[in-house]
């Protein structure tokens, strides 16, 4: 009986993530952390524990997991098909994962990154101030079959709770703000960016996401080379061929491509979660509007706990209820492709 | 954009960098005084420990702050930065204390660093002349960036003002020495790059488990010396890759 999660099978992009490690930017190490920080907040609210606790981030698909002892779990982010011993589990909800039961999490049904949270959080060794894996920097590695993760003590008890997650899993409108290189692009080019539909390219990961514009690419006027300058997640880099590339949580810390704008931090999860083929559109907002948007987003995160409600025992939603399925003994067991 | 005038009225300049960042620029092109100013100003911001500032860094000629705009407003932070900027002439500051001089063994050319020939040709030298030039240059760490612990080294003699490649090299290995525009980059991770691969070292610049995870710091100085491929292979067993350092008095 140990407090751990055993990984029997894992998709290629399952990594431990938290809020990342600020403070190393000057040493060339970006903050990193979860691609969708809202999902971390939702998981923390569902389990009524601090947002700093580390969770499993599952890119595209999950895997098969087993708890060493009874454990509370929560599922957030990109909805994925999940079941325990064949009984389906509701997404955006907390559940009890009994010791020895098999938790199966399949492919994302919208969005990219799903999250598996555990009561007490994962208690792996802290590396440079955080548990987040930063693959590009060689800090930790994606999980593989046979790995076991220690889980911290859980001081909560409640499960069977749900909340309404903001739908950020299918692209849409993304607010951006001018940054210090935006004026390298003339006004017509900036206006054209707002008017252009962009398609999320299949080439995208925790470092950056490529967006294919409808029509021509974008070009800085004069095409002068810019001095390599600090990069932050959300920056929209225009690469040599004119394609916008949004830098994500695990991006490099400096870069020489000009940046036409920066995605608001509160809208970055929408970019991270836009699946390949999803349509996105950028809209410039003023600094004041941006600050106000961040304030609203912070208040919404802080209010998640107030919006918790029990999973309803609606007969139409019975398959969602772990407790019901365990009692009834009904198992499907066929939802793993 | 100005050309060769880092000290004009346009600089230093405070500009916003997204909703939660501010950048203090000391020039729009690399110069020694602007580089020193960026390093010293960033250190001063760190030392000030302002409420709401979450992270700082410096790049070649600017200092960056990330802050919580819901905790400290843009105007407040801008006023603080302006006051700090006016406190002294940052272009006249000294380099950071505790600098080190590194001697790093490297293989030049052959299959380990296949672009030495191209780079030498672009600089108007033979390969032998190029190696002599690159091993006699004592270069300084101008900034750390892109990847963990990765130094940008300069400035090389004028002959090395050669462009980056237009087409990217798909993968340059960890420890590679890249060259362009009178600078060298000592790569801390394998990555695609446009820098010309002229040398290969065995140094691991980022050692997450070590007491000092990041080996070199801005202001440190570096000189490379040539070794053979066999010698380098043996040095790979040592995370320092045969590099030695001593304090700069």
Q: Give per-residue pLDDT as tens, B151-209.
A: 999 999 999 999 888 777 889 999 999 999 899 999 999 998 889 999 999 999 999 98
CB contact under 8 A, B144 and A290: no
Using an 8 Å CB-CB cutoff, list chain A residues near B144: 26-28
The answer to whether A44 and A51 are in contact (CB under 8 A) is yes
Using an 8 Å CB-CB cutoff, list chain A residues near B60: 227-229
Check residue A227 and give left, alpha or beta (phi > 0: left; psi -120 to 50: alpha): beta
Using an 8 Å CB-CB cutoff, list chain A residues near B70: 291, 294-295, 298
Q: Which of B61, B92, B123 is the last residue of a domain?
A: B92
CB contact under 8 A, B59 and A23: no
Size of interface A-B (CB pairs under 8 A): 125
CB contact under 8 A, A26 and B58: yes
Enter the ipTM: 0.91
CA distance A253 to chain B (A): 5
> Pick from A28, A139, A224: which is nearest to B144 by CB?
A28
CA distance A284 to B57: 26
Hey, is the C-beta of B76 within 8 angstroms of any chain A C-beta?
A: no
CB contact under 8 A, A255 and B16: no
Q: Looking at residue B192, what is its pLDDT? A: 87
Q: Report yes or no on whether pTM surpasses 0.95.
A: no
Please tell me the total count of domains within chain B: 2
pLDDT at A136 over 90: no
Q: Looking at residue A66, what is its pLDDT? A: 98
Q: Are residues B77 and B190 in the same domain?
A: no
Q: Are residues B156 and B84 in the same domain?
A: no
Mark which residues 140-199 of B lie under 8 Å from A by CB.
Answer: 143-150, 152, 166, 188-189
Q: Give per-residue pLDDT as tens, A280-296.
A: 999 999 999 999 999 99
Q: Are residues B108 and B86 in the same domain?
A: no
Q: Are residues B46 and B153 in the same domain?
A: no
Residue B48: give the domain boundaries. Answer: 13-92
CA distance A187 to chain B (A): 17
Element (H, E) at B44: helix B32-48
Hey, is the C-beta of B78 within 8 angstroms of any chain A C-beta?
A: no
Q: Are residues B143 and B227 in the same domain?
A: yes
Q: Are residues B48 and B135 in the same domain?
A: no
Task: Determine, yes or no, domain membership for B4.
Answer: no
* CATH code of the domain containing B163: 2.40.100.10
Please, what are the domains in chain A? 4-163+308-328 (no CATH), 172-300 (2.40.100.10)
Q: Looking at residue B8, what is its pLDDT? A: 57
* CATH code of the domain containing B87: 3.30.1360.40
Q: Which of B58, B92, B126 is the last residue of a domain?
A: B92
The answer to whether B72 and B161 are in contact (CB under 8 A) is no
Q: Are residues B78 and B121 in the same domain?
A: no
The answer to whether B119 and B126 are in contact (CB under 8 A) is no
Q: Which of B67, B92, B117 is the last residue of a domain?
A: B92
Q: List, in order, residues 6 or more apart from B211 with CB less than 8 Å away.
A: none
């Amino acid at each position: 009986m140990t407090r751990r999660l055993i990984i029997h099978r894992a998709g290629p992009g399952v990594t431990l993530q938290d809020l990342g490690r600020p403070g190393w930017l000057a040493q060339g190490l970006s903050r990193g952390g979860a691609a969708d920080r809202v999902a971390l907040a939702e998981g923390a609210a569902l389990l009524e524990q601090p947002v700093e606790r580390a969770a499993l981030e599952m890119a595209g698909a999950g895997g098969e997991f087993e708890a060493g002892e009874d454990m509370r779990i929560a599922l957030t982010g990109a909805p994925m098909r999940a079941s325990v011993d064949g009984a389906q589990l509701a997404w955006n909800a907390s559940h009890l994962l009994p010791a020895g039961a098999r938790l199966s999490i399949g492919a994302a049904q919208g969005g990219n990154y799903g999250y598996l949270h555990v009561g007490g959080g994962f208690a792996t060794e802290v590396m440079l101030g955080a548990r987040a894996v930063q693959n590009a920097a060689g800090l930790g590695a994606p999980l593989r079959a046979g790995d076991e993760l220690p889980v911290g003590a859980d001081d909560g008890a409640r499960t069977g709770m749900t909340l309404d997650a903001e739908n950020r899993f299918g692209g849409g409108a993304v607010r951006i703000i001018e940054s210090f290189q935006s004026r390298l692009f003339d006004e017509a080019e900036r206006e054209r960016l707002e008017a252009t539909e962009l398609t999320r390219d299949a080439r995208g990961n925790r470092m950056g996401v490529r967006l294919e514009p409808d029509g021509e690419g974008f070009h800085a006027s004069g095409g002068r080379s810019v001095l390599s300058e600090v990069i932050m997640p959300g920056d929209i880099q225009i690469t040599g061929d004119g394609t916008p590339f949004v830098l994500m949580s695990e991006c490099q810390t400096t870069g020489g491509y000009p940046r036409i704008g920066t995605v608001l931090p509160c809208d970055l999860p929408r970019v991270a979660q836009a699946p390949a083929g999803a349509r996105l559109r950028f809209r410039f907002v003023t600094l004041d509007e941006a600050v106000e948007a961040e304030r609203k987003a912070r208040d919404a995160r802080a209010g998640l706990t107030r919006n918790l409600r029990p999973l309803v025992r609606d007969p139409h939603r019975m398959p969602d209820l772990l407790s019901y399925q365990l009692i009834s003994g009904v198992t499907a067991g066929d939802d793993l492709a | 954009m100005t050309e060769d005038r880092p000290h004009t009225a346009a600089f230093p300049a405070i500009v916003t960098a997204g909703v939660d960042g501010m950048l203090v620029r000391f020039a729009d092109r690399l110069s020694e005084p602007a580089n020193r100013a960026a390093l010293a100003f960033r250190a001063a911001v760190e030392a000030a420990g302002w409420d709401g500032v979450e992270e700082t860094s410096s790049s070649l000629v600017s200092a960056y702050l990330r802050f919580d705009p819901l905790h400290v407003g843009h105007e407040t932070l801008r006023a603080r930065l302006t006051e700090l900027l006016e406190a002294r002439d940052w272009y006249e500051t000294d380099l950071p204390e505790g600098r080190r001089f590194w001697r790093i063994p490297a293989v030049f050319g052959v299959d380990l660093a296949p672009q030495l020939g191209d780079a030498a040709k672009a600089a108007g030298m033979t390969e032998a002349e190029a190696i002599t030039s690159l091993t006699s240059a004592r270069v300084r760490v101008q900034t750390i960036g892109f990847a963990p612990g990765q130094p940008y080294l300069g400035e090389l003699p004028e002959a090395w003002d050669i462009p980056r490649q237009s087409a990217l090299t798909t993968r340059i290995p960890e420890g590679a020495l890249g060259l362009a525009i009178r600078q060298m980059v000592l790569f801390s991770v394998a990555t695609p790059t446009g820098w010309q691969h002229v040398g290969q070292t065995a140094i691991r610049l980022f050692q997450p488990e070590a007491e000092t995870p990041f080996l070199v710091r801005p202001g440190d100085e570096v000189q490379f010396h040539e070794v053979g491929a066999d010698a380098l292979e043996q040095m790979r067993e040592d995370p320092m890759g045969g590099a030695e350092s001593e304090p700069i008095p």
